Chains A and B, each alone.
Chain A
Amino acid sequence: MSARPPPAVWFVAPALAAIGAFFALPVFASLGLSLTDFDIYAIGDLRTLRFVGLDNYARLLHEPLFWTALANTLVFVALGAPLSIAASLAAALLVNARLVRWKGLFRTLLFLPVVTTLVAVAVVWRALYHPRVGLLNGLLGALGVAPIDWLGDPRFAMPALIAMAVWKNFGFNMVIFLAGLQSIPERLYEAACIDGAGALAQLRAVTLPLLAPTFAFVGISTAIGSFQLFAEPYVMTGGGPANRTLSLVLLMYREGFRWWNMGSAAALAFVLFALVLAASWLQWRLRPLEAQR
């Protein structure tokens, strides 16, 4: 007769069962799926399914659309994530400044875009970006700038999506930075002040080094989030113009759920996974010494 399991097992069982069944299992199944030619016929009759080894991955390497989507996604991450983090840090420093009043109000206002629905603000920004009647060109026109076809011009479409993403997301990291800033002991600034350090010197010698662990967290989470770019191009550009805003996840969605090429879509999903893993690893390796304790 075996002993009754301790009650703790029943506490974790529901969560672990759900994670196992609806996350872990599908992740491993996805790896298997990426090694098959699963397509719309296989949905109807699983016997048509064939094991194709690494063919899906090999085919991706010869698929120009894949390279386009990969390059677009990397551009979005490499430009969007640093810009977003810089905006977050600047906003946090402003809100946290000693002389500022109504800190709570500014914090809430700047955070507001974070809680909005991405699809809805994408619809709004599509209108703001309208070349003829959009508010943005209206404002720029008042400054003498010729109208720009933000979402229709291949040169501007990706920067336009990046600008919107920065607007939508910077508030989240701002709050994380604020938490980091408020955990820096006041006496360090007092000591720096006595040593004659000005505001800029304090920023360099005290604030930024002590924010290092926050940077590590913010960097990884922002990069991971950016790799998953989907709703913005889906709603605003459909991946165009000339595929300039086609992202990996949008391509995966089309392959998998429009054309039901689940095998090659799963291979795309694993490319995404590899990128996220590489980004996490890179940042873990590059994290500043202070955070390596």
Chain B
Amino acid sequence: MRARLASLLLHALLIAASAAALLPLLWMVSASLMPAGEASQGPHLLPSAPTLEHYRALLGRMQLLRNAANSAGLAAAVTAISLAVNSLAGYAFAKLRFAGREPLFRALLAAMVVPGQVAMLPLFLMLKGLGLVDTYWGVIVPGVASIFAIFLIRQYALGIPESLLDAARVDGAGELRIWWSIALPACRPILVTLAVFTFLGSWNDFLWPLVVLSDADLQTLPVALANLAGEHVQDTELMMAGAVLTIAPAVLVFACLQKYYLQGLMSGAVKG
């Protein structure tokens, strides 16, 4: 009987917590479907007459579609390039011998306490000098190498049996070949985790794209949305539609790959 009561209480608390977590997002969707002006008349939970006019207005502007394409393209490029670069390095730090490997790795770990904003000002001036400000590369290039990603891949690659690699070497496979056909498949779970993590991080990023992209045609969705929110303070429903369009792809990616993503996060946390 006590167990029944405890179980009931636990589930009630969890349902309340989940409702609190979801309510702002559900209201966002609901408000995005309200006729113009309704959200400004009073606190409404549901639209009186659901309408897609705000989505039509937003998608009708080529601008927002461009911003969405920019976000998607940049996130995909950063994810692909960073997975290649960081998995090469992470695997090497785990399995290949070279002079200075351990001190170098420790230095990288120590550098993780430096917040990215410290590098931001000179980085901007450097990229300006290179002509990369207001280009896609200005966003991609600083996001490519990640110490965190190298660390996670190294931790995972440490578990690859040495005998597997040696057998391939005996068969005459080159090191690059071994990385591609043995190390990468063995590290698949952590690579999927990192891919989701990097994609979402890039999709949601704000400060750096805000700084480096001033051309409206190149801007990402979050930057465009922040501008929209600055200009159209009154059009709550329109802004909610914009917020839905910005958040939905991120939630979709997460929903499809959440099993890998959460498990990777949890296994990384235990090892880390």
Residues of A within 8 A of B (CB): 6-9, 11-12, 14-16, 18-19, 22-27, 29-30, 33, 43, 91, 94-95, 97, 99-101, 106-113, 115-121, 123-128, 132-135, 137-139, 141, 167, 171, 175-176, 178-180, 182-183, 214, 217, 224, 227-228, 230-231, 234-235, 249, 252-253, 256-257, 262, 265-266, 269-270, 272-273, 276-277, 280
| B interface size (C-beta, 8 A) | 94
The interface residues of chain B, by DSSP majority, are classed as helix
Q: Give the distance in Å from the alpha carbon of A132 to the alpha carbon of B40 in the complex.
A: 9
Residue of A at shortest CB range from B101? A8
A171 partner residues in chain B, CB cutoff 8 A: 21
Q: Which of A116, A126, A167 has the most CB of B within 10 A?
A: A116
In the complex, which residues of chain A have a beta carbon less than 8 angstroms from the beta carbon of B262?
A: 107-108, 111, 175
Distance (whole angstroms) from the CB of A176 to the closest CB of chain B: 4
One of A25, A118, A121 near B24 (C-beta < 8 A): A121
Q: Which one of B14, B118, B144 lies within 8 Å of A270 (CB-CB)?
A: B118
B249 shortest CB reach to chain A, Å: 9
Asked if A178 meets B206 with Cβ closer than 8 Å, knowing A22-B141, A273-B115, the reply is no
Closest to B123 in A: A26
B121 to chain A, nearest CB (A): 5
A sample of 16 cross-chain residue pairs with beta-carbon separation below 8 angstroms, ordered by A number, consists of A6-B96, A12-B88, A15-B150, A19-B108, A22-B144, A26-B126, A112-B22, A123-B226, A124-B243, A126-B229, A135-B23, A228-B115, A235-B229, A269-B121, A270-B118, A272-B115
Would you list which residues of chain B between 78 and 125 have a CB under 8 Å from chain A? 85-86, 88-89, 91-93, 96-98, 101, 104, 108, 111, 113-125
Stretch from B55-63, B160-168, B263-271 contacting the other chain: B263-271
| B181 interface hit (Cβ, 8 Å) | no
Question: Contact: B118 with A30, CB < 8 Å?
Answer: yes
Contact between chains at A119 and B225 (CB < 8 Å)? yes
**B residues with CB within 8 A of A:** 3, 6-7, 10-11, 13-14, 17-18, 20-25, 27-28, 31, 39-43, 45, 85-86, 88-89, 91-93, 96-98, 101, 104, 108, 111, 113-126, 128, 141-142, 144-145, 147, 150, 174-176, 179, 200, 203-204, 206-207, 211, 221-223, 225-226, 229, 236, 239-240, 242-243, 246-247, 250-251, 253-254, 258, 262, 265-267, 269-270, 272
A141 to B176, CA, bound (A): 65
The closest CB in chain A to the CB of B89 belongs to A15
A107-B262, A176-B269 as given contacts; A276 in contact with B92, CB under 8 Å: no
Q: Residues of B contacting A138 with CB < 8 Å?
A: 42-43
Q: Is the interface of A mostly helix, strand, loop or mixed?
A: helix
Residues of B within 8 A of A128 (CB): 24, 27
Residue among B14, B31, B85, B125 making CB contact with A127, cutoff 8 Å: B31
Q: Are A113 and B207 in contact (CB under 8 A)?
A: no
Report chain B residues within 8 Å CB of A133. Answer: 39-43
**Chain A proximity of B87: nearest CB distance (Å):** 9
Cβ-closest chain B residue relative to A228: B115
Which residues on the B side are within 8 Å of A139 (C-beta)?
43
- B89, B125, B179: which contacts A14 (Cβ < 8 A)? B89
Contact B24 A9 (CB under 8 A): no
Smallest beta-carbon distance B17→chain A, Å: 6
Pairwise interchain contact A127-B122, C-beta atoms closer than 8 A: no
Measured between alpha carbons, how far is A214 from B39 in the docked complex, in Å?
43
> In this complex, what residue of B is CB-closest to A110?
B21
Q: Which residues of A contact B272 (CB under 8 A)?
A: 217
